[in-house]
Amino acid sequence: MMACNRTAIKSYEYWLPNGSNRWDSGAAPPPAPLRIPLAVIMMLMIVVGLLGNAVVCIIVYQRPAMRSAINLLLATLAFSDIMLSLCCMPFTTVTLITAHWHFGDSFCRLSAMLYWFFVLEGVTILLIISVDRFLIIVQRQDKLNPQRAKVIIAGSWALSFFMSAPSLAGWTLMEVPARAPQCVLGYTELPASRAYAVTLVATVFFVPFSIMLCSFLCVLHTVRKNAVRVHNQSNSLDLRQLARAGLRQPQWQQQVSLDLSFKTKAFTTILILFVGFSLCWLPHSVYSLLAVFSQSFYCSPSFYTTSSCILWLSYLKSVFNPIVYCWRIKKFREACIELLPQTFQILPKVPERIRRRIRPSTVYVCNENQSAV
């Protein structure tokens, strides 16, 4: 197949006159001042992604009290990011440094399949978490328990494999990196290949993004409505009712403020994960569709540089999640300190807390006469 010429693409492979199976390379690799820093930063991303996500998995594995449904989902999300860091990022880093793919055609397709596989699994888990928050806060339905979470996780892995496997089987164009630092979706005019590419990109980004956006908008509306209702209720509550409940006015206001702060912080953490996912994957989704449908974009001399930057941004998502956990979740910071060797602990060791399991729905339920506990 002539990958970048004036004729239409009719098949999958293009053989050069010397007989080697190499794609037509019209895209120049990025200059060294851009390529080397990207590779160095990606190596740091591999280390941070492995260590940060490994801490999440270790916490859930070692502590039975932490094996709630939401924590099992977060551990699965962390595991998918670990596998992405191990199976895809190192090879892309080597290709960025050397500006040449050294691992063969078959492994190129395999790495592309694994890339979509682990990315799709992480997106699916984030979607499940978002829908679960919607059901808890908006519908007040707490139906997700650890047993159901395990079944959903198994189903998400099966769905992710089903959606990513066709790229390994050759259902769409995957170019051996001559125009990109790893196998990416390439330009084709075959209807079946275009349909699969659109389905894959929509499943990875556009459909989950739409569902999560609607869920978060509904959650924001509900949280705001409950906050206003609790505020009005606290203002209208007379001193006799407070005395009957055994609370003074400052105690009531402090309890309401604490409850609203806890609800806002828990929801904000998940919202930040959604924003990070959107920023990292919107450019990659648009780029993939342009590569499949626009020959001028795919054959442009700047395609390699564009691919390098966008792939780097998509990999940033695997590092973004543990950074958010460390920033927003105190238990995660404490667990990180506990897992550090004694010689590396700068701060004094935090004493073990008494952990108890709670129903997530109770955090957001507001009765008529009291705030959530």
Indicate whether 315 belongs to any domain.
yes
Show the domain range for 273.
Answer: 32-363
Tokens of 84: 């992405």
Count up the domains in the chain and report the number.
1
The mean pLDDT of 264-282, rounded to a whole number, is 83
**pLDDT higher than threshold 80 for residue 240:** no
For 154-210, write each residue's pLDDT tens digit. 999 999 999 988 877 765 656 666 678 888 888 888 888 889 899 999 999 999 999
Q: What percent of the chain has pLDDT over 70?
A: 70
The mean pLDDT of 200-225, rounded to a whole number, is 90
Indicate whether 24 belongs to any domain.
no
Residues 6+ apart with CB under 8 A from 163: 116, 120, 199, 200, 203
For 150-164, write each residue's pLDDT tens digit. 999 999 999 999 998
Burial of 283 (0-12, 13-18, 19+ CB in 10 A): middle
**pLDDT higher than threshold 70 for residue 232:** no
Split at pLDDT 50, 70, 90, the class of 343 is very low
CA distances from 351 to 58, 115, 337, 354 (A): 18, 40, 11, 10
Indicate whether 299 belongs to any domain.
yes
- Give the CATH number, domain containing residue 350: 1.20.1070.10
User: Can you give the pLDDT at residue 263?
Assistant: 52
User: Can you give the pLDDT at residue 321?
Assistant: 86
Split at pLDDT 50, 70, 90, the class of 59 is confident
**pLDDT higher than threshold 80 for residue 218:** yes
When mean pLDDT is compared over 45-54, 129-138, 245-254, the highest value belongs to 45-54
Indicate whether 237 belongs to any domain.
yes
**pLDDT higher than threshold 60 for residue 110:** yes
Split at pLDDT 50, 70, 90, the class of 9 is very low
* Cα distance between residue 135 and residue 131, in whole Å: 6
Indicate whether 23 belongs to any domain.
no
Split at pLDDT 50, 70, 90, the class of 231 is low
For 306-342, write each residue's pLDDT tens digit. 888 899 999 998 888 888 888 887 777 777 777 766 5
User: 69 near 144, Cβ under 8 Å?
Assistant: yes
Indicate whether 123 belongs to any domain.
yes
Mapped onto helix, strand or coil, the DSSP state of residue 174 is: strand
The mean pLDDT of 24-42, rounded to a whole number, is 75
Nearest by Cα to 159 from 80, 220, 69 = 80
